[in-house]
Homo-oligomer: A and B are copies of this chain.
């Protein structure tokens, strides 16, 4: 194994807490009230359906920033919340400023000493560069759906990264907190590592609490994964 690529939203960064926190800060600043938790959860609920419109060919390629903004505008309308364009842009930018889980920075630094590390994310490139800068993530490479004009779990994303690394899939491992993502990677011959993030979707989370297949590695977090991988 030469390289490890990581899912980002949920696996590396705690998007839900980060978004709610930023909604709360905006409320204070603008002196308005927003249903921050509900908006966050409903916004993320549009994530897969919005990408599926691209994946199924219903609409041409759109980056995640643009899909996020479309979903946000629709959501604000549904709630009868009227905000200016600049404020909507600012809220959309919340996704660029997500906090990492506590084990991430040290874990990635440790893994980087032995493996090439990169993202394998549905976020568009500029979004992912901003997240990495904000969260101080020491990626060797930012692989993202936008480079391949396909969203995960389309095979093009996984194989595209392996191809650019000039490595066969069996020498590349996907690390993710989501079983569906690992299933797609394994079907293409990649190694797999599962890390549960049991509060990614909040206190009521009901999925991805455990590994649903015998993935190559299952670890509590990136610190534990690096211990399993490195003597």
| Chain A residues in the interface with B (C-beta under 8 A) | 65, 116, 124-126, 129, 132-133, 138, 140-142, 146-147, 164-167
Contact = CB atoms under 8 A, between A and B. Distances in A.
Contact of A164 (B125, B133, B164, B165): B125
Nearest to A128: B141
Given A116-B129, A129-B165, A132-B140, 20 more contacts: A65-B166, A116-B133, A124-B164, A124-B166, A125-B141, A125-B164, A125-B165, A126-B164, A126-B165, A126-B166, A126-B167, A129-B140, A129-B141, A133-B140, A138-B138, A140-B142, A142-B142, A146-B164, A147-B147, A147-B164
Contacts of A165: 125-126, 129
A195 B135 CA distance: 31
A165 B132 CA distance: 14
Contacts of A166: 65, 124, 126
A167 to B, nearest CB: 8
5 contacts: A65-B166, A116-B129, A116-B133, A142-B142, A147-B147
A35 B211 CA distance: 57
Contacts of A126: 164-167
A125 B141 CA distance: 9
A142 B133 CA distance: 14
A147 B163 CA distance: 11
